[in-house]
Structure 1
Amino acid sequence: MKAQGAARRRIGAVLGVAGMVVPLSVALGGAPAQAATCTTSTGPYQKQVEKFLGRPVDGRQSSADCSAIRAFQTKHGISPNIGYAGPVTWGVMNLMNQQKAAGSNPNKAGKCPTNKGRIACVDLTRQLSWIQDGKTLKFGPVPVRTGRDKYETRTGLKKVYYRSINHWSTLYDVRMPYSQFFDGGQAFHSIAGSVWSPPGSHGCVNMRGGDAKTYWNMLKNGDDVYVYGRKPGT
């Protein structure tokens, strides 16, 4: 994603965060349309999905299973939201499990530099970000949504070089609140949709509103950003 132009306000924008950060169905309608009927088919990840959702783990689709799966799909912009326990739905759930497992020590493997002072780390593999100072965790880890296939968030050591609290992308005609650019048009910024919504952004590091605001308050121009790993599916 390449965001261009100076920040400007637009009141009552009907698209909110629009297509660059959420699926088109979300951008145009606020959420994917509910399917007319729930699927009766048992998905290839039925047991895993049932366990994640706290359902009885029997590996057989029921109407209650389908309703629970469809609610999850709707919440996170997974389409089609017909309650099928397929690879996309399980992929999102599995990612959430990995993020939870990171706990309060996301840099346990030492992949984000600890000799830079304050630095914002972005782990593409686990879709996590946090701010650390040396070896001390200052904020996070928090879930993020990075670039999709062909629009990958670029890896390596970067620096925050431009900040725009009410940024507007003239390229995609969308709001990008709390934008902090660190590599070309790629930036941290908040979105209104789910940060777990597939397939991903056009390169930016999408964040929940509260997390993006905290990053805005904690970072400044010149601060280091380190991006590493590889987003699933890219």
Structure 2
Amino acid sequence: MRTSGVWRSVAAATALAALAVVSGCTIQPAGPPGTSPGGSPPAGSPPAGASSSAGESSPAGRSPGDAKPPGSAGQPAPEVLWSPGDRGGDVRELQARLRQVLWLYEGPTGTYDASTVYAVKGFQGKRGLPKTGTTDSVTWQRLLGMTREPGKWDLYASGGQPAAKPDPRCLTGRVLCISKTSRTLRWMIDGRTVSTMEVRFGSQYTPTREGVFNVYFKSRHHVSTLYDSPMPYAMFFSGGQAVHYSADFAGTGYYGGSHGCVNVRDEGKIAALFSQVRDGDKVVIYW
């Protein structure tokens, strides 16, 4: 009879199963990691292809244990440095750098305005960053890596610089006190500043003269006979050089220059100045 052989087979199978339990193994073929014997997911596990964390999936090429980019789930959002409504020198530098990469065409103004928000969003979107319009630490570091340190007149390309201290020669009488250092004009009477305005000067080859002069001729609608260009509110002080309004200065800022005249960019301010200045008033141009 084969009874003894059957019992021996049963006994061997029982012993093998017991050994498997003790060693933590299974005798069935192994499925993919994380599956139960036979290839089925353990009870309560997420479906195949889902992340082990509810609501998340691992980006391509990154395992769940890898570091996630700033701002993603489980990571702190980058620090916000400047946002709409902020003012100051840091915002002015941000705007100057955005001008360098052609995302901002006006300013700098030193005020985080709608144009700045639009420029920041464009810069962020182009580089795959969240388009928030606020400047966070990640956006700022990316911008720093693509730009150079702005110079003084990059920061004040559209004006806004403080006026320099008046030259001592400006402290008596009626004076157009003009500083090449700060690019400003102070209209002063007996040491008191009546008004200030931004100005620009001649280029390297047609420099504005320095020294003490006097207004000798005024012409409201003057046109240059040498360059055939308009010189509204012209107040001549030395040969063909005059203080006058410049539409080009108003439009392009300090990215241009005059042929030696002192250009004023604010038409309203020079119109008021023109009405107050008299022939013989002093003009002081200094560094």
TM bin (shorter chain): 0.5 to 0.7
Q: Is the 8 A contact 1:118 1:134 kept in 2?
A: yes
Root-mean-square deviation (Å) = 3.4
- Give the TM-score taking structure 2 as reference length: 0.48
Aligned to 2:92: 52
Q: Are residues 1:206 and 2:244 paired? A: no
Which residue is 1:131 aligned to? 187
> Structure 2 residue aligned with 1:68, among 103, 109, 126?
103
Larger radius of gyration: 2
For each residue in 1:36-94, what CA deviation from the matched residue of structure 2 results, as whole angstroms up to 9, or x when unmatched?
xxxxxxxxxxxxx9742546x9x8x8xx9834334449xxxxxxxxx98568x744333
Change (3 A) 1:121 1:149: same
State whether residues 112 and 121 of structure 1, in contact with CA within 8 Å, keep that contact through their aligned partners in structure 2.
Answer: no
Q: CA–CA distance in 2 between the matches of 1:112 and 1:182?
A: 19
CA distance in 2, matches of 1:164, 1:98: 26
Q: Which runs of 4+ in 1 moved over 6 A?
A: none
Change (3 A) 1:161 1:52: same
SS at match of 1:220: coil
SS in 2 for 1:144: strand
Q: How many residues align?
A: 161
Q: 1:154 aligns with which of 187, 194, 209?
A: 209
Determine the C-alpha separation between the residues in 2 that align with 1:171 and 1:97.
28
SS of the aligned residue for 1:178 comes to strand
Q: What are the Cα deviations for residues 118-160 of structure 1, in whole angstroms up to 9, with x where unaligned?
A: 10111011111011112211111x1101111121110111000
Equivalent in the alignment of 1:118: 174
Stretches of structure 2 lacking an aligned partner (at least 5 in a row): 1-88, 109-122, 124-145
**Higher fraction of helix:** 2
> Aligned residues: percent identity?
27
Distance 1:65 1:216, change over 3 A: closer
Determine the C-alpha separation between the residues in 2 that align with 1:97 and 1:71.
7
What residue ranges of structure 1 are gaps of 5+ in the alignment? 1-48, 74-82, 230-234
